[in-house]
């Protein structure tokens, strides 16, 4: 059952705090079709009616019901070999995306999995219209996940579960970086006492 894949990943994304109640989007590609979560669906309890089928390139009567992130999902499918996409709002990664142009995991195992994760839309002159192709362009260049500055992540895989695992690894890495930054801040503050 296709819906089961969506339910497992959606529930886990919400349980781990990687999306708020009605945020994020998931999709899979089946040939020239996309199955994507519905606009405003609750990630924690996805049902059959929350899955919208539309075209990779063509609209149909269901397209207006799809997640507002559909243009990004389409752009990624057109430019990469991805068969699944997970879009989430991981909090530590999102915070780091505001202060740097890439996120480099400290853990070597995670470095091997993710490399340095680029932040797109980082430059103030970035055009929102170009963001979809900028995200897809970064994922095309051998990346498994990218961050959109101050917004969230887009991860790709052959399965939803695979794209979800990259999201989870990135957020864990970002959390560690965040903790290290806090410790450094703590040490600096103590030395001034």
Binding site for Zn ion (CB under 5 A): 152
Shortest gap between Cβ of 136 and Zn ion (angstroms)? Answer: 16
Shortest gap between Cβ of 112 and Zn ion (angstroms)? Answer: 27
CB nearer Zn ion, residue 73 or residue 181: 73
CB nearer Zn ion, residue 118 or residue 152: 152
Shortest gap between Cβ of 88 and Zn ion (angstroms)? Answer: 8
The torsion of the CA quartet 87, 15, 122, 178, rounded to 10 degrees, works out to -150
Shortest gap between Cβ of 23 and Zn ion (angstroms)? Answer: 6
CB nearer Zn ion, residue 137 or residue 152: 152
Q: How many residues does the chain have?
A: 193
Looking only at the bridges linking them, the beta strands covering 51-55 and 84-88 are unpaired
50-72: buried (b, 16+ CB within 10 Å) or exposed (e) per residue? bbbebeeeeeeeeeebbbebbeb
CB nearer Zn ion, residue 22 or residue 58: 22
> What is the number of the residue whose Cβ is closest to Zn ion?
152
Bridge partner list, 155: 86, 145
């Amino acid at each position: 059952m296709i819906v089961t894949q969506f339910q497992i990943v959606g529930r886990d994304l919400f349980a781990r705090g990687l999306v708020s109640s009605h945020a994020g989007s998931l999709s899979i590609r089946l040939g020239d079709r996309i199955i994507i979560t519905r606009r405003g669906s609750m990630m924690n309890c996805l049902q059959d009616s929350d899955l919208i089928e539309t075209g990779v390139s063509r609209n149909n009567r269901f397209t207006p019901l799809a997640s507002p992130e559909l243009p990004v999902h389409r752009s990624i499918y057109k430019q990469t070999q991805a068969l699944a996409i997970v879009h989430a709002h991981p909090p530590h990664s999102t915070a780091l995306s505001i202060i740097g142009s890439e996120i480099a995991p400290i853990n070597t195992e995670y470095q091997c999995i993710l490399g340095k994760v680029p932040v797109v839309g980082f430059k103030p002159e970035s055009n929102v219209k170009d963001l979809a192709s900028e995200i897809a362009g970064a994922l095309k260049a051998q990346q498994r996940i990218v961050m959109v500055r101050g917004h969230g992540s887009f991860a790709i895989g052959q399965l939803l579960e695979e794209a979800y695992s990259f999201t989870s690894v990135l957020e864990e890495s970002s959390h560690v970086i965040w903790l290290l930054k806090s410790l450094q801040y703590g040490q600096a503050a103590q030395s001034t006492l």
